[in-house]
Amino acid sequence: MHTFKAFLLFACVLSSFQVGCSMSQKRESDGPVVVSTWKFGLKANEAAWQVLSSGGRALDAVETGVRVTEADPNNGSVGIGGTPDEDGNVTLDACIMDETGDCGSVAFLQNILHPVSVARKVMEETRHIMLVGKGAEEFAYEHGFDKTNLLTPRAEERWKRWLEKNGRGQLPAINIENHDTIGMIALDEKGNLSGACTTSGAGFKIPGRVGDSPIIGAGLYVDNEVGGACATGWGEAVIRICGSHLVVEYMRQGHAPRKACRLAVERLIARNPDYREIQIGFLALNKKGEFGAYCLRSGFQYAAYTTEHGNRVIDSKTKL
Ligand code: ASP
């Protein structure tokens, strides 16, 4: 009996040690938190923090935050200035999800500067979740959005050079120039979570292609009881495993955010034989304000803003 108790004690100590080891960036105090993908997330976090630090709602924070990236013409993978499809059209995907589990999404949207805000309108003003293409564009105009040319001279130049060199039907491998979505998850002072995700998708894609970013459960998922997650990288691989939902479900099982992201990357490897040719990053924030990320191969970074540490860029742990 004595030996059995000692064994139990040993097992407990061991398991708490393991939990401690796999812990993501831990919280040191209460207060809002916002995390977003890539280094360009820093600027988006700044805007989101303005909302969060004045007691605002996480939903407003994530919309305000990713709009900064959408409006930046120098960012070649989100919003205006985004890399076009192989016909030279910039087509945008975005979604948003709030603390009640309500969500909205737009895909294959053209000529609109802020797809995330159209997604929010879909969520708040219709009984639908997802609008695509011309329907989404018409809906945007009806709700006061202006027509905007999203193809900047720089992006057009990039497209022409690519077309000349490769011709149609030659999707380039995912690299820093032809992808990178902004996904953002925020926790507000009230302890509520929301998320947003927005992208121009894979560069030089086949016209009509939609990636993971506007698909609830793939590019983004938020469950206010547990946490939120978002994805960046080769969207097809993320869709196959419902990546962000999977990360949230791993957190529900008790895994810390970084470990949950790692488990999702491992699932992705198992389901995608081409995994050595692609890049994927998952980023997660839980209800306690702990966060973490994991990626398939090195190079993925994310930005995190907390009261304790301010706004900073963190290198994600990597599988390969
Ligand atoms: N996930 C996006 C897509 O596949 C692109 C990216 O994040 O790099 O459309």
Nearest CA among 151, 160, 318, 169 for reference residue 233 = 318
pLDDT tens digits along 5-29: 444 344 434 443 333 333 455 554 5
Instruction: Report in angstroms the alpha-carbon separations of 94 from 89, 122, 123, 205.
Output: 16, 11, 12, 16
Active-site entry in 181, 198, 199, 232: 181
pLDDT tens digits along 263-319: 999 999 999 999 999 999 999 999 999 999 999 999 999 999 999 999 999 999 999
Q: Write down the pTM of the prediction.
A: 0.91
- Interatomic CA distance for residues 241 and 220, integer angstroms: 12
Across 121-245, the runs of DSSP E, i.e. the strands, are: 130-132, 182-187, 193-199, 220-223, 227-233
48 by DSSP, 3-state: which? helix
Under 8 Å between Cβ of 183 and 63:
no
CATH class label, 29-318: alpha beta
Q: 8 CA to middle of ligand 1, Å?
A: 46
The pair of three-digit structure tokens given for residue 64, joined into one six-digit string = 């305000």
Give the Cα-Cα-Cα angle 238, 77, 117 (nearest 5 degrees): 85
Active site residue 181: yes
For 119, phi and psi rounded to 5 degrees?
Answer: -60, -40
Q: 304 CA to middle of ligand 1, Å?
A: 20
Reported confidence tier of residue 172, pLDDT bands at 50, 70, 90: low
Q: 202 CA to middle of ligand 1, Å?
A: 6
Residue 55: how many other CB atoms lie within 10 Å: 10
Nearest residue (by CA) to ligand 1, atom 4, is: 235
Measured from the Cα of 235, ligand 1's closest atom is 4
Give residue 25's pLDDT.
Answer: 58
Of the two residues 277 and 223, the one the predictor is more confident about is 223
Residue 43: how many other CB atoms lie within 10 Å: 18
Ligand 1, CB within 6 Å, residue ranges:
179-181, 199, 201-202, 211-213, 232-235
